Structure 1
Amino acid sequence: MSSILSYVQPTANSPWGTYLSQVDRVIPYLGDLARWAETLKRPKRALIVDVPIEMDDGSIAHFEGYRVQHNLSRGPGKGGVRFHPDVTLEEVMALSAWMTVKTAAVNLPYGGAKGGIRVDPKKLSLKELEKVTRRYTSEIGIIIGPHSDIPAPDVNTNAQIMAWMMDTYSMNVGGTATGVVTGKPLHLGGSLGRVKATGRGVFVTGREAARRLGLDLRGARVAVQGFGNVGSVAAELFAEAGAKIVAVQDHTGTIVNENGLDLAGLVPASRTDGGAVSFKGGDVIDNEAFWEVACDILIPAALEGQITAERAQKTKARLVLEGANGPTVPTADDILAERGVLVVPDVICNAGGVTVSYFEWVQDFSSFFWDEDEINVRLDRIMMNALNNIWDTADKHKITLRTATYAVACERILMARQERGLYP
């Protein structure tokens, strides 16, 4: 057992345990490349850092931070940074591994990485948040860079935090390095279309999946768990296509309206302290009842591990679009497949964000920027081509879309590993 793996004790439904199960299922489809499969189960590098700052009251606080590079065979590491009180090394390991698969699934020239700090940013002042961000960036600066590992926003991080990270790294290397992070403000080298990219990717893959299922989006009922950038953008795009958003769940609770929630009022309400349940255009129900709402499309866009075996038995959806990373545990995956529920897996469904991050990175190097229409056209084309390739693989081997996605992605990853060879 490697020193990195000795720090985690995964269970079957924990993030890293879920990822390992997904890898095991794809090994029979890797042919001669299966001899390299252990590569997928071992992160290349994990950095654990102490993040000390002086708080506004003069006290000294310490936070634990992580940056994990899972695999760099196909290019520099790519993956977000999340600020959350429940961040763990195991979670970040799993998220970095899913990024490896995700970037390979859509054939971007990246490997997978992820970062996080165990902190509740809501309890920090803006000044304290900046200090945490800058100190963390300084600590992980030894392994990140425009050609080695490129962070991006994730849970509870945004363009402002990316600007602080870019500035801190730039000060330490003695020159402005806009390409060290993506998801930056536009005037610091950010890309148009980045904020809505992940939600747009969920919609694009969902639209194609619905077409193949013979599900008309006009009048289709959609339930969304998680109503941040991903869930709310996907909901708005489905509503524009004629679907009805019948249920939304966020951190404040669950609201439903079988005739469709008015997003023009719900989205602004969800951005207030009262959250989605403060909106008066629907009924508030118990959170667990969300999983039994009558719907055609279910979009889990919150955190990992949300669709358990019990919830998989309850859902009435025909189509699950994984806007979040790792929202479905393996036992639930099996139940959904047995029930004939189609799951478009996270590693393709929510890959719109990293795809436009790639566009931003390319634009930063060339100092030439595209308009939003061009961004969206390029994004839609990459997402559709990737999904169609994966769907053909699923049909060929009579396997689920998730296993097919892993088959396509892992073949690319392990082929790169094999062709590069082992050094020294």
Structure 2
Amino acid sequence: MLNYADDLGPLKIIHVHEPSVGLQGIVVIDNIAIGPSIGGMRMAEDVSTEECFRLARTMTFKNAAAGLPHGGGKSVFHGDPAMPKQDKERRIRAFACALRDTVEYIFGPDMGTDEECMAWIHDEIGRATGLPRELGGIPLDEIGATGWGVRHATEVALEFCNLGIKGTRMVIQGFGAVGMHAAKFLGEQGANLVGVADSRGSIANPKGIDIDALIGLVKSGKSVIEYEDGEKQNQDALIDIECEIWIPAARPDVVHKGNVERLKTRLISPGANIAVTDEAERFLNNKGIICLPDFIANAGGVICAAMEWQGASEIVAMQTVKEKVRHNTRRVLEDSRADHCTPREAALKLAEQRVRAAMRHRRWSAF
């Protein structure tokens, strides 16, 4: 565990095991100098402590960069999100109960979890965001809060590519709540979806994919590869599709040293956290391809969650997402140009300054 430690954190790494329901979970509370940590709960079959720490650290920077009164944390647990609902519910309720007294961490939805999962946590311990409307929450996945932020980050970044949104080609890797809504919101502004992938494969159509039809297909429980008007390919082929906007919206490290040279795009706008490795980001920057920092581009979900926690309305929350994401995207890209550094380096400087300033006001720097 100490391999992850530096002067920012993590404050706590907690492993939770409840064999009666098959629960194996991890919580990382990275830094709470600014306030209690807030971050999503991820369910997948390949999660790890290292991934959880990296995601928690990303949340520290994301919340700080967005000016939220929250530190960074993350939780993950092992399991297939498609398991029977009653089994999933038992694991999530057990996970929540195990963390009842870990008040430094506030749950939110993430990959493999949704508003109903947050309702179960709320019922057990009353400490979750992204709740269903009937519980007074703002359903982050239903309204597409993260995708809404990705749309606005992308629009601002296209200005730095000397491109407008209308007629630009986009490729989206991952078509869950984030990818689906990013496609919808950007499509409404005139972007053209030419490639998309999920866990079963990818489809491509240089003439364009009908976004509404694809969303309907996926919401009916089918894979994107069942979309008829497109060339079916494997997942890996998606990176070879020529476009102006490439949006990774699923797993970590999908763009890396081994495939980054194959990208044919002008802009990467991450809908997922830690989707591009540091080495790949440096390569893209040297090639003049803008790669937005994940914790800037996809901050919409946690901004909305923090607003919900403070009692804001859905309308106010979505307007705040728009304002914060557009402002931070422009600032980071302007600072990157002025300081001759990568966008990530500019964003990290902004976020770290805010975290360290908060730490100076604390008796103990980490808690």
Report TM bin, short chain. Answer: over 0.9
The aligned residue for residue 115 of structure 2 is 159
Q: Which residue of 1 aligns with 2:324?
A: 382
**Corresponding residue number in structure 1 for 2:364:** 422
Secondary structure, counterpart of 2:122 in structure 1: helix
Work out which of the residue numbers 165, 176, 183 in structure 1 matches 2:130. Answer: 183
Q: 2:304 corresponds to which residue?
A: 356
- 1:21-170 aligned at under 5 Å gives the runs 38-40=6-8, 42-53=9-20, 61-123=21-83, 125-144=84-103, 148-169=104-125
- Pair 1:401-2:343 in alignment: yes
Structure 2 residue matching 1:310: 3-state secondary structure: coil
Return structure 1 stretches of 4+ with deviation > 6 angstroms.
none
1:13 aligns to what? Answer: none
Q: Quick one: which of 216, 239, 243 aligns to 1:295?
A: 243
Q: Could you report, residue by residue, the CA deviation over 1:334-374 in whole angstroms, capped at 9, with x for unpaired residues?
A: 211111100111010000000000110011xxxxx5253x3
Q: Does 1:210 align with 2:207?
A: no
Work out whether 1:413 is the aligned partner of 2:355. yes
Judge conservation of contact 2:141–2:177 (CA < 8 Å) in 1. no
Q: Quick one: distance in 2 between partners of 1:376 and 1:83?
A: 26
SS of match in other structure, 1:116 = strand
In the TM superposition, what whole-angstrom CA distance separates every residue of 1:279-320 from its partner, at most 9, and x where no partner exists? Answer: 112110232221110111100111101001232101110000
Q: Helix, strand or coil for the counterpart of 2:123?
A: helix
Following superposition, the deviation at residue 273 of structure 1 comes to 4.3
The answer as to 2:313 corresponding to 1:370 is yes
Which residue of the partner structure matches residue 198 of structure 1?
A: 146
1:130, distance to aligned residue in structure 2 (A): 1.4
Percent identity of paired positions between Structure 1 and Structure 2: 30
> Which residue identity does 1:301 align to in structure 2?
A
Q: Secondary structure at the match of 2:25?
A: strand
Aligned counterparts, 1:193-342, within 5 A: 195=142, 196-342=144-290
Whether contact under 8 Å (1:270, 1:279) holds in the other structure is no
The alignment partner of 1:309 has SS state of: coil
* Structure with the higher helix share, 1 or 2: 1
Secondary structure at the counterpart of residue 364 of structure 2 = coil
Distance 1:302 1:371 in 2: 25
Contact 1:194–1:357, Cα closer than 8 Å, also in 2: no
Secondary structure of the 2:166 match is: coil
Q: Is the 8 A contact 2:165 2:189 kept in 1?
A: yes
**Aligned residue identity for 1:64:** Q
Instruction: Provide structure 2 residue ranges, at least 5 long, that are not aligned to the other structure.
Output: none
Q: Distance in 1 between matches of 2:110 and 2:234?
A: 27
- What amino acid maps onto 1:163 in structure 2? A
Aligned equivalents of 2:44, 2:277: Cα separation in 1: 21
1:253/1:277 contact within 8 Å kept: yes
CA–CA separation in structure 1 for the residues paired with 2:113 and 2:206: 33
How far apart are the structure 1 equivalents of 2:53 and 2:348?
17
Report how far residue 231 of structure 1 moved: 0.6
- The question of whether the paired residues in 1 share the 8 Å contact of 2:38 and 2:72 is answered with yes
Amino acid at match of 1:370: S
Amino acid at match of 2:13: A
Q: What is the distance in 1 between the residues matched to 2:149 and 2:296?
A: 8
The AA in structure 1 aligned to 2:116 is Q
Contact 1:47–1:67 (8 Å) recurs in 2: yes
Count of residue pairs the alignment pairs up:
365
Mapped partners of 1:233, 1:277: distance in 2: 18
Q: Gaps spanning 5+ residues in structure 1: where?
A: 7-15, 21-37, 54-60, 170-176, 364-368
Bigger radius of gyration among the two: 1
CA distance in 1, matches of 2:120, 2:139: 19
CA shift at 1:390, angstroms?
A: 2.2
Structure-2 residue corresponding to 1:5: 2
What is the CA-CA distance between 1:385 and the residue it aligns to? 2.0
Deviation at 1:272, TM superposition (A): 4.0
